[in-house]
Structure 1
Amino acid sequence: MDKDGRKVFSDRQPPIDVPQKNILKQPGTGKQRSQSVPVPAEDQAQAGASAAPAASAASAPQASGKDKKLEEAKTKADAEEAAKKKAEADRVAKARAENCARAQKSKTSLTSGGLIGTVNDKGERGFMDDATREAEIKRADSVIASDCGTKPTAE
């Protein structure tokens, strides 16, 4: 409790000016703070000796638990990364397929021999001349070659 009598929840140590009796729980331990009772030096030595092996035994399973959690988190992160890569590869493959179909359709209309209407920079309508038609056919051929051919792997 703070100096005004309100309960304060925090993950940090209380200020030094807060008396021990006002501290209900220590941060991180989840246990109530007990009043310190003087213990004879002999009992402290025995308690310290028995607590050391118990602490090391308790920390070993806890470390493997952390490793297990760490491995689970790593596996989950790897799976998410693989899913993102697969989604990106699928998106790229879909875009390539659309570009391929669009280029093939464009080439078909360009090679049909009919007049193709265009709009110039000034907004005027006109017809595509033979030089422009050949340039567009070459561009369509290059798109077909890059997007319709064998697709490179994402690895």
Structure 2
Amino acid sequence: MAVHRIFCLLGLTLLLATTAQAQGQWKWRDAQGNVQYSDRPPPQGTPEKDILARPANARKPVQLVPFGQPQASAPAASAPANAASAAAARRQAEEAARRTKEVDEKNKAIEAQNAATRAENCKQARQQLATLESGVRLAHVDEKGERGVMDDAARAAAIARAKTVIASECR
């Protein structure tokens, strides 16, 4: 019989302990920055950002404002948010301007390189055209490694190619 009473008391103790545990704990940071734990809510006036944990069944506090009075916290809260969003927008605009400037600089460098290449191609095509039109006999080496002389048809085709290159590269 004594064993039966012990088990009943133990069961009742466990039941009460789980009920106390189920109520939950509040966790917040006080004015000095220390983390506080309690089964009661933090003192009135504790900022919402300092409340680190609340019981599952707890609701966020509702701040009552008398009729006809403006809410003091709404403009104060929106001012830093507006300043932060303005600063973020300014940073994004600066970053976009920097990227645009970098892309423009790269494009100018590529365009300058392309212009130099076109000028060199133009110069070589003009020299080749002058050589072809001079009437000098030109020799070449074929696929078999044998030396051959350029005939009139090959010369005319080479002149046409040189003129095409000059037309496209010498602007």
**2:111 — aligned with what?**
89
Q: How far did 1:68 drift?
A: 1.1
Give the whole-Å Cα distance in 1 for the aligned partners of 2:114 and 2:158: 24
1:43 maps to a residue whose letter is G
**Unpaired stretches in structure 1, ≥5 consecutive residues:** 1-32, 150-155
Q: Residues 72-105 of structure 1: CA distance to partner in whole angstroms, max 9, x if unpaired? A: 1000000011111111211211111111101000
Of 86, 102, 116, 1:80 maps to: 102
- Which of the two has higher C-alpha Rg? 2
**Unpaired stretches in structure 2, ≥5 consecutive residues:** 1-32, 49-62, 64-71
**1:11 — aligned with what?**
none
Give the whole-Å Cα distance in 2 for the aligned partners of 1:34 and 1:104: 84
2:144 maps to a residue whose letter is K
Q: Residues 101-133 of structure 1: CA distance to partner in whole angstroms, max 9, x if unpaired? A: 010000011111111111111121111111101
**1:35 — aligned with what?**
35
Superposition map of 1:3-152 within 5 A: 34-36=34-36, 39-40=42-43, 42-44=44-46, 47=47, 53-149=75-171
Question: Considering only aligned residues, what root-mean-square deviation do their CA atoms show, in Å?
Answer: 2.1
**1:22 — aligned with what?**
none
Task: Tell me the TM-score normalized by structure 2.
Answer: 0.60
Task: Tell me the TM-score normalized by structure 1.
Answer: 0.65
| Aligned residue pairs, count | 114
**1:17 — aligned with what?**
none
Q: Which structure's residues are more often strand, by fraction?
A: 2
Helix, strand or coil at the partner of 1:36:
strand
Give the whole-Å Cα distance in 2 for the aligned partners of 1:43 and 1:73: 40
Give the whole-Å Cα distance in 2 for the aligned partners of 1:69 and 1:137: 58
**1:15 — aligned with what?**
none
Q: How far did 1:141 drift?
A: 0.5
Helix, strand or coil at the partner of 2:36:
coil
Q: How far did 1:135 drift?
A: 0.4
